Structure 1
Amino acid sequence: MRALTVVPEQQGSLQIGTVPDPVPADGELLVRGLALGVCGTDKEIARGEYGWAPPGRERLVLGHESLGQVIHPAGDFAEGDLVVGVVRRPDPVPCGACAAGEFDMCRNGRYTERGIKEIDGYGSELWTVEADYAVRLDPRLRDVGMLMEPTTVVAKAWEQIQRVGDRAWFEPKRVLVTGAGPIGLLGALLGVQRGLEVHVLDRVTDGPKPRLVEALGATYHHDSIEKVLSALEPDIVLEATGVGSLVFDAMAGTGPYGIVCLTGVSPTGRNLTVDAGTINREIVLENNAVIGSVNANLRHYRAAADALGRADLDWLGGLITRRVPLGKAAEAFEAGDDDVKVVLDLEH
């Protein structure tokens, strides 16, 4: 079968190759791959920045934003079910968090991840997954179900925001999402579903992003973050860009008892001058909180499936701005001017 593979930490190694068809073990599903979302993590691995091949192997099958259809069932799955595969697996020791099913909070770093760290991903025409790490999707989501994994990221982020807020009386009204990429837009979707007044900040002034925000019933901004924060004084900032200046501005720009949740990963090696004293003063005197959130466990996959099931299908479809056949996968790793989410079609 065909698969999208890389040699981790080797730039220019991305290729479509032939690998053996997988054979499901006891308790595993055999799945026909339908589509694969391409994200910044995939591009970083393709650039040779990181990634880990399975032990004893040179190449890693890439891809973690999966969508497939069951061919050989296991557990309570049936043939034909639409499924996604969970990305992370708990470490084998395990640490206390992994033992409790909170493997997204692994304490010792010995976890593994499909398509990223020591386990092949879902970027192939066929793949297997343990029934315990597969999640069934509503058949109506066949065209957009690869959005499940990024939705789990923001489902977890919103859960963490709620948990931090619940340390005292918490009745947020307004959220600012920084960044109108897939994570930001899906985070805005979940904010709207929570009944919040949602604002989204991005630098572009045209193209699909402003339209997608407005179609949610949210408000789109492209002014400076200082101006937007001053006008809104949001209760919550969901930061989805990883841009250092936005991160630090957000820390000092919420209303009292504000929460900043960081989901964007910043590049290293870039210096930034900040007024650390003012930021510290604001956080302490206003009882503000800054938290980081990454990955997801099974609870967040279930929450994401529910959120997608309640979303407008046309709106979700609007997030997918390009569909690229597997045979031309390299094109999916090249940025387009109006890209939001690029998807690989694994059937062509």
Structure 2
Amino acid sequence: MRALTVVPQRQGSLRDDTLPDPAPAPGELLVRGLALGVCGTDKEIARGEYGWAPPGRDRLVLGHESLGEVITPSGGFAQGDLVVGVVRRPDPQPCGACAAGEFDMCRNGRYTERGIKEIDGYGSELWTVEPDYAVRLDPGLRRVGMLLEPTTVVAKAWEQIQRVGERAWFEPRRVLVTGAGPIGLLAALLGVQRGLDVHVLDRVTGGPKPGLAESLGATYHHDPVEKVLPALEPDIVVEATGVGSLVFEAMAGTAAYGIVCLTGVSPTGRTLTVDAGGINRELVLENDVVLGSVNANLRHYHAAADALARADRGWLERLVTRRVPLEKAAEAFEAGEDDVKVVITLSGD
């Protein structure tokens, strides 16, 4: 079979490879890969910044935003089922969180991840997966099901926001999502599905992003954040850019008893001057909360699958702005001017 592989932490090692077909272990599903989403983590691994190969190997099969079709069924799955594979696995000697099924909150860091950390990913024409780590999708999501994994990230974020809010009376009305990439727009989608007044902030004025936000019923802004925040006073901010200055602006710009959920990972090495005392005063005197959220567990995968099944299919298709075949996979790692989500197709359909 063909597969997209890389030598982790070696720049320029990405290639369209030929590997033996996988043999499913007893009880595993054999899956035909249909498509693979590409995200910032994949690009970091391809640049040699991150990632770990399976033990005893140099190369890692890349890819964690999966979509496939069951060939050999098992564990309640049928031939032809549309499935996505879960990314993370708990560590062999699990911490308390992993033992409770909350492996996205692993305390000791000994988890593994498909296509990222010590387990081959889903970027191949064939792959296997344990039934307990496979999620069945609505058949109508065949063109867009690779969006499930990024949707799990925001499904978890919204769950965490809800749990924090319910420490007391909680009836939020307005949410600001900063960043109109895939995570930001999917966060906006779930906010609209919750019946909130959703606003999306991004600096771009052209391309597909403004229209995608507005098609959801959200309001799109491109003014500076210091102008937008005072006008909105959002109850919730979902921060999806990782831009350090914007993160601190968001902390100080919510309504009283506001929640800021950080989903964007900031680069290191840049120094910012901030009024730490002023931010502390705002957080304490207004009972504000700032939390980070990353990864997802099985509960979030199922919540995300439900959210995508309820979403407008045409809108989801528009979120995928570029599709490239496996033989041209390197093109998916090059930024395009109007990219939102770029997808690698692994089979002819």
**TM-score over 0.5 for the alignment?**
yes
State the match for 1:271 in structure 2. 271
SS in 2 for 1:147: helix
Summarize deviations over 1:214-260 as a string: whole Å, max 9, x none.
00000000001111100000000000000000101001110000000
Which residue pairs with 1:49 in the alignment?
49
> Which position in structure 2 is the counterpart of 1:157?
157
User: 1: CA distance between counterparts of 2:11 and 2:244?
Assistant: 26
Cα displacement (A) at 1:294: 0.2
Q: Give the distance between the partners of 1:272 and 1:329, measured in 2 at CA.
A: 37
Name 2:109's counterpart in structure 1.
109
Q: Which amino acid aligns with 1:272?
A: L
Could you say which residue in structure 2 is the equivalent of 1:339? 339
Task: Give, in angstroms, the shift of residue 344 of structure 1.
Answer: 0.2
1:314 corresponds in structure 2 to 314
Corresponding residue number in structure 2 for 1:170 = 170
Residue 291 of structure 1: aligned partner = 291
Letter in 1 for 2:225: I
SS in 2 for 1:256: coil
One-letter code aligned to 2:340: V
Read off the aligned partner of 2:256 and give its amino acid letter.
P
- Root-mean-square deviation (CA, aligned residues, Å) is 0.5
Deviation at 1:57, TM superposition (A): 0.2
| CA deviation profile, 1:254-280 (whole Å, cap 9, x unmatched) | 000000000000111111111111111
Deviation at 1:51, TM superposition (A): 0.2
Q: Distance in 1 between matches of 2:200 and 2:193?
A: 15
Q: Secondary structure at the match of 2:12?
A: coil
- What CA deviation, in whole Å up to 9, does each residue of 1:112-151 have, x standing for no partner? 0000000000000000000000000000000000000000
Query: Using the alignment, how far apart are the partners of 2:78 and 2:187 within structure 1?
Result: 31
Matches within 5 A, 1:118-133: 118-133=118-133
Q: Within 5 A, what are the aligned runs for 1:1-348?
A: 1-348=1-348
Q: Number of paired residues?
A: 348
Letter in 1 for 2:166: D
User: Distance in 1 between the 2:234 and 2:27 partners?
Assistant: 47
Runs of 4+ in 1 over 6 A off after TM superposition: none
User: Residue 2 of structure 1 aligns to which amino acid in structure 2?
Assistant: R
Amino acid at match of 1:35: A
1:26 deviates by: 1.2
- How far does residue 20 in structure 1 lie from its aligned partner after superposition? 1.0
Give, as a single letter, the amino acid of the residue that structure 2 aligns with 1:341.
Answer: K
Q: Which amino acid aligns with 1:53?
A: A
| Same amino acid, percent of matched pairs | 85
Q: Tell me the distance in 1 between the aligned counterparts of 2:11 and 2:265.
A: 20
1:174-213 C-alpha deviation (Å, 9 max, x unpaired): 0000000000000000000000000000000011000000
Q: Aligned partners of 2:169 and 2:234: how far apart in 1? A: 16
Tell me how far apart the structure 1 counterparts of residues 88 and 5 of structure 2 sit (CA, whole Å): 19
> What SS does structure 1 have at the residue aligned with 2:135?
strand
Q: Distance in 1 between matches of 2:132 and 2:334?
A: 35
Counterpart code for 1:57: R
Name the amino acid aligned to 1:333.
Answer: F
SS of 1:206's equivalent?
Answer: coil
Give the superposition deviation at 1:81: 0.2
**Aligned-partner Cα distance in 2 for 1:270–1:21:** 45
Partner AA of 2:227 in structure 1? K
1:298-333 alpha-carbon deviations (Å, 9 max, x no partner): 000000000000000000000000000000000000
SS of aligned partner of 1:8: coil
Distance in 2 between residues matched to 1:255 and 1:107, nearest whole Å: 32
Code of the aligned partner of 1:135: V
Deviation (angstroms), 1:347: 1.1
SS at match of 2:36: strand
Instruction: Compute the displacement of 1:84 (Å).
Output: 0.2
Partners of 1:60 and 1:266 in 2: CA distance: 25
1:73-104 residue CA offsets vs partner (Å, 9 max, x unmatched)? 11000000000000000011110000000000
The residue identity in structure 1 corresponding to 2:50 is Y
- The two structures have a TM-score, normalised by structure 1, of 1.00
Q: Secondary structure at the match of 1:344?
A: strand
**Uncovered stretches (5+) of structure 2, i.e. residues with no partner:** none
Q: Which amino acid aligns with 1:229?
A: L
Give the AA of the match of 1:19.
L
Give the residue type in structure 2 aligned to 1:116. Answer: I
Cα separation, 1, equivalents of 2:28 and 2:172: 43
Cα distance between partner residues in 1 of 2:302 and 2:123: 22
